[in-house]
Amino acid sequence: MTWGLQNRLSRIIRPTDHRTVMLAVDHGYFLGPTHKLEVPRKTIEPLLPYADGLMITRGVVRTSIDPTFPTPIVLRVSGGASVLKEDLSHEEVTTSMDEAVRLNASAVALSIFVGAPHEHESLVNLGGLVDIGEEIGMPVLAVTAVGKELEKRDARYLSLACRIAAEFGAHFVKTYYCEDFEKVVESCPVPLVVAGGPKLETELDALELAQRSIEAGAAGVDMGRNIWQAPNAVGMIRAVRAVVHEHASAKEALEFVKAPKAKR
C-alpha cells in the first residue's frame, strides 16, 4: 500500500482503534429522494460531526456539503440502474477518478453484484477501479450489493462475495451482517464495514446489529437508514459511535437515543 493510499484510508478507519463509523447517504443514486433524505443538507449536516466518513455521490457533495467541513468523503462512483428496473446489477463506473481527486475524496466506492445478471461487468469494473486507485493512491471500497434480493444475506453468500472483492484488490469491503458473521470476517483479508440495511423495528435492533458486527470482527459500520430515519438521528449516530469506538453495549448506548443532550 502506498503512503498516500494508506494515509487516505486512515482518515476513514481510525488508526487509534482500527474502527470507523461511516454515514451512508448515497441512496439517492438509485432510490431517488429516499424517506428522510429528501433534502440532503437538512439530514446530513447535523450528523456530520459524528461521522468518520461520509458515503455520498458527487451531486450531493457539491450541492449539500460545505467544502470547509473536514469529514472524509467516500465517493460513490458506480451506478446506472434505478429502483424502477428489476435488475439493479447493470452498473458502470459513473464518476471518474479525476473527479474523485477534485472532490478530495478519501476513498471511492463501487458495488459488485455477485451471482446477479451483471456479475461479470461489476467485477471487471472493480478490477479497473483498483488499478487506477493503486496508481494514484485512492482506496477502493467494494460494496457487496444484493439488489432487491435481501434474502441472499447469509454467511455462505457474503463470504463468497467479500472474498471475491478482496481478491480483486478492494482495500475495504462493505457488506451485510448475518448469522455466523465471524466466518465472513475470517475469510476476508481486508477490513469489513457493515451496512445497516432497511430500517429495523427499533433503535436497539440496529445497535445490536452494530455490536454483533464489531464482536465478530468488523472494522465498523457504514450505516444509513437506521441512523437518519431514526426519530432522534443525532442521538442514534452518537449511540452507534459508543458501540463502535467505546465498547458500549447496545443497551448502554441506547442512553444517547433517549437523552440526546446527555453529556458523555
CB of 147 to ligand 5RP, least distance (A): 9
Minimum CB distance to ligand 5RP smaller for 113 or for 263:
113
Minimum CB distance to ligand 5RP smaller for 24 or for 248:
24
CB of 30 to ligand 5RP, least distance (A): 7
**What positions carry a catalytic annotation?**
174
DSSP the chain: --HHHHHHHHHHSBTTTTBEEEEE--THHHHSS-TT-SSHHHHHTTTGGG-SEEEE-HHHHHHHS-TT--PPEEEE-EE---TTSS-TT--EE-S-HHHHHHTT-SEEEEEE-TTSTTHHHHHHHHHHHHHHHHHHT--EEEEE--TT-GGG-SHHHHHHHHHHHHHTT-SEEEEE--TTHHHHHHT-SS-EEEE--SPPSSHHHHHHHHHHHHHTT--EEEE-HHHHTSTTHHHHHHHHHHHHHH---HHHHHHHHH-TT---
CB of 22 to ligand 5RP, least distance (A): 9
Minimum CB distance to ligand 5RP smaller for 159 or for 213:
213
CB of 119 to ligand 5RP, least distance (A): 16
Minimum CB distance to ligand 5RP smaller for 110 or for 242:
110
- The residues binding ligand 5RP (CB under 6 A) are 24, 26-27, 55, 111, 143, 145, 195-197, 222-226
CB of 52 to ligand 5RP, least distance (A): 15
Minimum CB distance to ligand 5RP smaller for 79 or for 133:
79
